[in-house]
Chain A
Amino acid sequence: MPEMPPNVRKNPPVPPESTADPSVNGTSATPLRRGPTVGAELVARVQAGDRVAFRRVYDLLVGRLYAICLRILRDPALAEDALQTTFVRIWQHAPTVRSPAAFTGWSCRVGTNTALQLLRSQPDFDALDPEGSDGPHAASVPGGDHLDLERAIATLPSRRRAVLVLHDIEGYRHKEIGGLLGISEGTSKAHLFQARETLKKFLKS
């Protein structure tokens, strides 16, 4: 029987000893959010094909991922479609995640991209959709102090809304947003400025 190919490493890299833990403030996708995280043991079980474990992952992440999808897409039905695709992708590609500590952030990134793909496929994505119309998303979020802000976000045009959600809520950088949306860094900054100005006016009114 042939031996394993030479130099195949099976152990994940260990964190450096003398540097700070960059996972809390680096280029990870979710530095501003603090939702539940999936533990290493659960990740290992999912990577081994354990469906029961994946159901637990679903329970842990569904609220976090639905929030991302809903804020980007505005429409609950579209957000549900994106969420289903997201979880199937996470299930299929979980074995490729090398560092269990990165699993939650990676999952959020999958959810973000899935929602953006769906957003880009919408007929009105390239149109300058009018501001001020109340989106279906607004009625579907929980009430309370946040509802007016969620409603205001939902009224933003698609690109501005996506940039604002990615930058100010999810913590992405403009360079990353540019890559995700196919726009320049400068355009991303301009959309963010316009989105913030719209929100300020909305909240004052």
Chain B
Amino acid sequence: MKQTDHAQLLDRLRDLPDEIAPGRDLWPGIERAMLQRPDNAPRRARVLRMSGTRTLVAAATVVALVAAVAILVLRTRDNVPGAPAVPTWTVEMLEGQAPSGGLRTLQPGDVLSTGSTDRLLATTDIGEVIVEPSTNVLLKHVSDELQVLTLNRGEIYARIVAPPRVFVVETPTVTAIDLGCEYRLSVDESGYGRLEVFAGWVALDHNDREWYVPAGAVAAMNGQAGPAAPYFADASPDFKAAADRYAASNSAADLDVMLSAARPFESLTLWHIALGATAEERGSIFDTLSRLGVIPDGYVKEDFVTLRPAAIDWLSAHLQESAWFRPDLFFGSTDDITTTKKKPATPGRMVR
């Protein structure tokens, strides 16, 4: 009888309607909100986000800034007369010896090099980038389809609202490809550094491979060795320590620690490690992923162990939208980038 009640309840819950109509049409309010935050609008239609006061101050001081700004702007390439209009990059001083509120326009080929106490805000139609102290970054390319910065050393904080793969940051060894996101990227001249993602996704490209780093995750960049497997910042200390050690050692003991300390979210790390592991290790990783419930029913273990390309890509896409997608972290903050992200959420870590 008790079991019957239980089964009846579950049947009735499953039979509840899939849809319930709201009592009124909510579209007008949604449309208004979309117009206020038209982040999905075509890029050229977007307006630089700058307050009226800040614009006035910037305009009034632009000439003074050009003369006094403490940053070094090196023109390495002349503009081509008659070239078609391209998205504009402007830069203003946030902190440093130059007057604040200044504004100037950057051209492809310009280099921003900040001193030890300078902070800059670079703004374009697809987002904002804070250039932190002791940083050297080149505006390499700007077009409707692609905008490329080269981060030679130092640290940037980027908040980009654009279709995936429009905004790209090259570092000495790794290319960070924006997939619609907000992140902090630090690197030294040898390519050692760290990526921390606060919203959306970043792909790290290195030697024919992509590493996917979602909101809430960090990835070390280890020079010519490329990125380490990313992990979520809220993973257990044991897991993170083992992952850091594994990046340098590929030790089976460290992998065992990771397998036993993993949550479903840690499938992010394990999937990336699997691509460079032995077939035997991949078998163990697959078993752990199955135990964690992130492998879809019907997915064949052998496809994973043998790295069958279509199956691996399929699983990656599936995990990106299930276990690796954390809505509580994905959407980030809407606060002013210059006030909320003044200091790193965690100290920039150079991994050697």
Contact = CB atoms under 8 A, between A and B. Distances in A.
B175 A5 contact: yes
Nearest to A203: B9
Contacts of A91: 34, 39-40
Contact of B13 (A23, A149, A176): A149
Given A92-B40, A199-B9, A8 B317 contact: no
Chain A contact residues: helix, strand, loop or mixed: helix
Given A80-B22, A180-B328, A12 B317 contact: yes
B10 interface: yes
B13 A109 contact: no
Interface string B25-36: 011011101100
Interface stretch (A59-67, A127-135, A155-163): A59-67
Contact of A146 (B17, B22, B37, B205): B17
A98 B321 contact: yes
B336 interface: no
B286 interface: no
What are the 5 tightest A-B residue pairs by CB atom distance, in nearest-first order?
Answer: A22-B296, A20-B298, A26-B296, A63-B19, A13-B313
Interface of B: 5-6, 9-10, 12-24, 26-27, 29-31, 33-34, 37, 39-42, 140-141, 143, 146, 148, 161-165, 168, 170, 175, 177, 179-181, 200-201, 205, 207-210, 263-265, 292-300, 303, 308, 310-311, 313-318, 320-323, 325-328, 330-331
Interface of A: 1-2, 4-10, 12-23, 25-29, 32-35, 46-49, 51, 54-55, 58, 62-64, 66-67, 70, 76, 79-80, 83-84, 87-89, 91-99, 102, 105-106, 109-110, 112-114, 117, 140-142, 146, 149-150, 164, 168-169, 173, 175-176, 179-180, 196, 199-200, 203-204
16 contacts: A5-B205, A20-B299, A25-B296, A32-B14, A47-B163, A80-B24, A87-B26, A92-B161, A92-B331, A93-B180, A93-B200, A94-B40, A102-B317, A102-B318, A106-B325, A169-B14
